[in-house]
Structures are given as C-alpha cells and as structure tokens.
Amino acid sequence: MTIVGHFIGGKHVADAERTQDVFNPATGSPEKQVALASKQTVESAIAAAEAAYPAWRNTPPLKRARVMFKFKELLEKHADEIVALITAEHGKVSNDAMGEFQRGVEVVEYACGAPELLKGEHSKNAGPDIDCWSEFQPLGVVAGITPFNFPAMVPMWMYPMAIVCGNTFVLKPSERDPSASMRIAELFQEAGLPDGVFNVVNGDKVAVDTLLANKTVQAISFVGSTPIAEYIYSTATANGKRCQALGGAKNHAIVMPDADPDYVADNLMGAAYGSAGERCMAISVAVAVGDEAADTLIEKLKTRMADLKVGPGTDVSNDMGPLITSAHQQKVKGYVDLGVKEGATLVVDGRELEVEGHDKGFFLGGCLFDHVTAEMKIYQEEIFGPVLCVVRVETLQEAMQLIDDHEYGNGTCIFTRDGEAARYFTDNIKVGMVGVNVPLPVPVAYHSFGGWKRSLFGDLYAYGPDAVRFYTRRKTITQRWPSAGSSEGVRFAFPTNK
C-alpha cells in the first residue's frame, strides 16, 4: 500500500515508523497510509527551512513573485489531478473540490503582488533633515497546521503569503487527507522554489507539539476545531511565537419575512448541505423571523431535500459526498439522535440513507430540524455534518441576540429585501464575516478571513492584507545625515518638531 511520507528540503522523505490509514470515504476502505512524523523528522524539516531562509529572505520580492506566477500556472495545469486527490481522500464532490482549489489559487494570485504589498512606508522630513521609514521584514521559519475539510485551500491561505513575504515554511496538513499538499509541494519546486523554502511534514500531535516547542519556529498559523485552536494559541504564545488560530463555527442565517422564499431555500440548500456540511462557513442554523416565514422555509426545504443527491464525489451529478470518517459519521448521527431526544422536530431524517454500491461508505443523508431552541446541544455545539437546525423567533432583534450570545462568531448572513434591516445587521452583529443575501460570505483573496469570539484566537486574520502583517515584522528606521559642523550641541529634552 502507498505510504504518503514527507517533503523536506526538496526531497521525499520516508520516516514511516508510525503510520495511519487514509480512507476513501466513499468506499470506506483504507487506500493509502500516511507516515506520522517523529520529533526528529519535524526537526529536520525545521532545519531545512532554517538553512533556506537567509538566501530566500534576500531574494528580491519581484523574483519571489515570479516563482508565484509560475506556481499558479502549474497549479492550473494540474488542477484535475489535485482535485481527484481531494475527492479520493476527503470525499467532496469534484466540482466542489475544484471550487476550493480555485479559491486557493486566488491567494497565490494575490501573492504575485508581493513587490507592491511589501513596499513599506516612507516619510521624508519626519524631523529636520530626518527621514523615517517602516519596512516589513520576514519572520524566519514559520509553520502551518491545517484541518481535513479543505485539504488544498486552507494550507494555501497560509504558505503562499508567508513564502512570498520572504519566510520559509513547514506545513503539517491533516493526516486524514495529506496527498494534495504533497503534490502541490512538488509543483512549487517545479516552479523554481528553492529547496527547503516549503516543507511538508505529515503527522499527528507529535509533529504539532514539536513545531510548538521549537525555538526556530517564529510563528504558527492554525485552522481547525476550537479546543485544538485554543491549545495551539496558548502554547505557541507561551513559547514566544506569533500565532493565529482559527477555530470552529456555528453559522446562522436570518430569514426575514420579506425575503424571497425560493431564493432563500435554494441558497440554504447549498450552504447547509454542500460538502456534507463539513465547512467552517456552512450555515447550520436558519433563524426564521415569524412563523409564516418558518413554515414556508420548512416546506420549501423539504421539497428540495427530496431531490438531494448523495453519493460518491467522483460523480458530479451528486450534490454531496460522504463524511470524512466512520467515527465522524457516527458522531453526526449521534447529534441527530440527541436532537430528537432534546425535543426538536426532525422534519427530514437522513440517518437511514443507503447509497447503492457503497454500503461501506461514510454517507449520511441531509437532516432538517424544526423548533430548535437555544438550550439544545444541537444548537450550541458544532455538528460539522449535513444537519440544518431551524430556530423560530419573533423579531430581528431576537434573532440577532441569539447570534451575539453564541460562543462562535465565524460567519452569518441575513436574507432580506429591507436595506435598513440589512444595514443594521451588518453594522451591529458580533460576527467576523457577514453576508447580505450571500450565505457563504468567504472573503475574496484580497480581503482577509477570520471570525470573532471563539472562532479565532489571535489578532490577525488569514490571507489578504492581514497575512502581510502576520508574516512580517515591522521595523521603523529614523535616519539623519548631518552635514559637517551642524551639531546644535548637547540636548536633554525629548526631541520633538516644536
């Protein structure tokens, strides 16, 4: 069986003393194994990155950007191959995998603008004959730790920007779907990236803890579940590292009574059940304002769910694929059982779904709950599966209070035709990414991505302008070239422009 190893210093490295199965979730069978890196292997990746740093730091940004242009070309040329790897290991339908891949490539496109992004700030005559400028210097060796649900896109939120800013990088992808990052590392090398600038170590907690403890690693970007994000953030910062740790979510969509019901239902289907609900921006709660809006919504969703096609991701006529593992499938089913016990109304039950010819696959049909309340665990916790909860409220204020009181604050959306309500909502809601009639408001590559509350630990968001700030350290230089004999003597007062 193929063992997915590591990519260190421009070479494939085996270190497969410990391994773990990588499943095809559609068939339920282990098709590969992934090596779980030892502490020594991770340290060798850090050492390779450290060795490559001085030359890469001093490579002109324009030349770094040229590598990015070439990298983008190669990614596009090999898109189908990478998408096939994503579908084989994650399970998502291949057109959805292509969507995530393209959004990742958009970050590479943004990174191509490095010379402009890194220009810095300059002030002539900040004082008499004094010029002052700020430059943005790379940090050194930085690392990324990523989740299973976007095996190509989320790593690409991190390393293109880190690398184009002059850093060298160690990526620790999810051990559940490691192959896309390995293939991308080869393409990056083919694009002309010097060996050691981008390294991939596969592994588990051993690899993560080695990255967290190692003094050479200057910064950690993490995306994953909230308990691990909190652990990463507290450990990394206690060890003196810069850290951004993006966590879990429970994203609400408010459905106002004036919204177009067909537009709402069509959009909620994709936002709740696309990628089997395994998206950190998936809408998992619809908050209907007024019983009439709620009744209409439930009827429209029911009709659409009858046509929801679930099956292997290789068949693009399917709407959603399987869940990532058998354990996760059982966990999500457990939440559906719990919702019934908690007293919510299970309007559509996907638990008994069978996919012909794929009886061992980790499939679960779409589930829809009505009359969910804020006290229920199915409302409070992130389920991360194809389960949509409908909560009924009377007013927009009540809907917004519900969202503000929730521990997560990643994404949210309002469906309405009322500009005043939409403006009030976008201005006041305590959530990081907000949509108006846009259910998945994932910012484009030249903005930045991040949630509020327990969906993000740290100050700077992923990719976009925040990434330039995260992956560089500001240095401000104040300079005077005095002409001979211009000294005004000893001065003890603090210098000002007075």
* Choice from 108, 145, 422, 433 touching ligand NAD (CB under 6 A): 145
C-beta closer to ligand NAD: residue 56 or 384: 384
β-partners of residue 107 are none
Nearest residue to ligand NAD, using CB?
A: 224
Q: Is 174 in the site for ligand NAD (CB under 6 A)?
A: yes
Dihedral sign (CA 478, 168, 243, 407):
positive
- Residue (249 or 269) nearer to ligand NAD, CB: 249
Q: Does 148 help bind ligand NAD (rule: CB under 6 A)?
A: yes
Based on the shown chain and the rule CB under 6 A, indicate whether residue 178 belongs to the binding site for ligand NAD.
no
The answer to whether 149 contacts ligand NAD (rule: CB under 6 A) is yes
> How many residues form the binding site for ligand NAD (CB under 6 A)?
27
Cα 192 to Cα 66, 71, 187, 196, distances in angstroms = 9, 8, 9, 12
Question: CA–CA separation, 488 vs 486, rounded Å?
Answer: 6
**Near ligand NAD by CB under 6 A: residue from 187, 246, 298, 367:** 246
| 436 backbone dihedrals φ, ψ, rounded to 5° | -115, 110
Output phi, psi for 340, to 5 deg. Answer: -65, -45
Under rule CB under 6 A, residue 274 binds ligand NAD: no
Q: What angle do CA 402, 403, 409 make, to 5 degrees?
A: 150
Does position 175 interact with ligand NAD (CB under 6 A)? The reply is: yes
Footprint of ligand NAD on residues 427-466 (CB under 6 A)?
Answer: 451, 455
Question: Could you say whether residue 244 binds ligand NAD (CB under 6 A)?
Answer: no
Q: In sequence order, what are the beta bridge partners of 475?
A: 135
Letters for 386-425 (x = contact with ligand NAD by CB under 6 A, - = none) are: ------------------------x---------------
22 binds ligand NAD (CB under 6 A): no
Pick the closest to residue 377 from 349, 407, 409 (CA basis). Answer: 407
Please pick, from the candidates 50, 109, 186, 204, the single residue that binds ligand NAD as defined by CB under 6 A. 204
The torsion angles phi and psi of 445, rounded to 5 degrees, stand at -60, -25
The region of 14-22, 107-115, 148-156, 361-369 touching ligand NAD under the rule CB under 6 A is 148-156
Q: Which of 59, 225, 314, 326 binds ligand NAD (CB under 6 A)?
A: 225
Q: Is 143 in the site for ligand NAD (CB under 6 A)?
A: no
Compute the distance between CA of residue 335 and CA of residue 326 in angstroms, rounded to an integer. Answer: 14
Whether 280 sits among the annotated catalytic residues: the reply is yes
The C-alpha atoms of residue 467 and residue 100 are separated, in whole angstroms, by 19
Q: Contact at 8 Å (CB) between 221 and 252?
A: no
Of 206 and 340, CB closest to ligand NAD: 206
Retrieve residue 455's tokens: 């969906």
Q: Is 249 in the site for ligand NAD (CB under 6 A)?
A: yes
Stretch that binds ligand NAD, among 91-99, 170-178, 253-261, 337-345 (CB under 6 A): 170-178
Bridge partners, residue 21, by sequence = 33
CB 247 within 8 A of CB 77: no
Among 112, 243, 280, 389, the active-site one is: 280
Contacts of 110 (CB under 8 A, 6+ apart): 160, 161, 445, 446, 463, 464
Is the sign of the CA dihedral 149, 284, 397, 262 positive or negative? positive
Known catalytic residues are 280
Q: Which residues sit at the interface with ligand NAD, rule CB under 6 A?
A: 145-150, 154, 172, 174-175, 204-205, 208, 223-225, 228, 246-249, 280, 382, 384, 410, 451, 455
